[in-house]
Structure 1
Amino acid sequence: MKSIREIFRNNRDLLEESEVQQLVSYCEELQDEIIELKFQKTENKELALIDMIKEVIKGCEALDKEQMEHERFGYDAPDYKSTVSYLQRYIHSRCREEKIWIG
């Protein structure tokens, strides 16, 4: 996309015209609206996915820590099956809430 200066580089005097100034102002408003709409469109799902990924990473780190403690002190291993099941339910639940279709 060309900037206003690029468009009028050979005819700078046209920028002084009232109608051209109105048109430039209108185009700038439209650009701002487009940027805002793009942000709103992507913000929700992107933030939801980032939040979900952070929670998954946090859960994995907690599992690693728990595993190390169990190995260190000789306790029984954690119940990974229920943990993975919980993680799957969490992901599917968040996807439904945020209307993210992962298949």
Structure 2
Amino acid sequence: MEETEVEQLLDYCEKLQDELVDLKFQQNENKQLIMLDMLKEIVKACEETEKQQKESIRFGLESPDFEVSISNLKRYLQVRCRENGIWL
């Protein structure tokens, strides 16, 4: 091969590599946005359930004992978010 052909081939390979890196970044960003939305919904649901639990206690209604489980789940999500730099 001639030197110019080799240079063109190298340039083409570098361009493809850059496009691949960009594509991987976009895919990771999309996954991160999906995960962020999902985590927000889970935290919101946990907070609403905790609120319902408090109201059932306040009004003397019988309710299942799930407060500890919800607190553990919420704490787990908060720790995982903090570890991954996701702030809700």
Q: Same fold (TM over 0.5)?
A: no
The structure, 1 or 2, with the larger RCO (C-alpha pairs under 8 Å, 6+ apart) is 2
Structure-2-length-normalised TM-score: 0.44
- Bigger-Rg structure (1/2): 1
Structure-1-length-normalised TM-score: 0.39
